[in-house]
Structure 1
Amino acid sequence: MSEWTGTDLLLFYKALNEAHGSQNWWPSDTPFETIIGTILAQNVSWKGAHDAVRALTKANLMEPAKLYRAGSDIITPLIRSSRYYNQKTQKILLFVNFFLKKYDGSINRMAEMPTGEVRSELLALSGFGPETVDSILLYALEKPVFVVDAYTRRIGARQGWFPETSTYEQMQDFFMRRISPDVYLYNDYHAQIVFLGNHICKKNPVCAICPVKNYPGLHECEYAKMENTRV
Structure 2
Amino acid sequence: MSAAITYKKVSRRYGDVIALSETDLNIGAGQFVALVGPSGCGKTTLLRLTADLDQPSTGQVAIGDMPPAAARKQRRLGLVSQRPAVLPWKRAIDDIRFTQIATQKSGIAAEDLLRDFGLAQHEKKLPHHLSGGMLQRVNFASAIAHDPDVLLMDEPFSALDEMKREELGLWLGKVLAERPKTVLFVTHHVDEAVLLADRVLVFSASPGRIVADIPVTTPRPRTAAFRTHPEFVELTNQVRGLLFGKQEAHA
Name the one with the larger helix percent. 1
Name the TM tier (shorter chain): 0.3 to 0.5
Give the alignment's TM-score, normalised by structure 1.
0.33
Name the one with the larger strand percent. 2
Give the alignment's TM-score, normalised by structure 2.
0.32
Greater radius of gyration (CA): 1
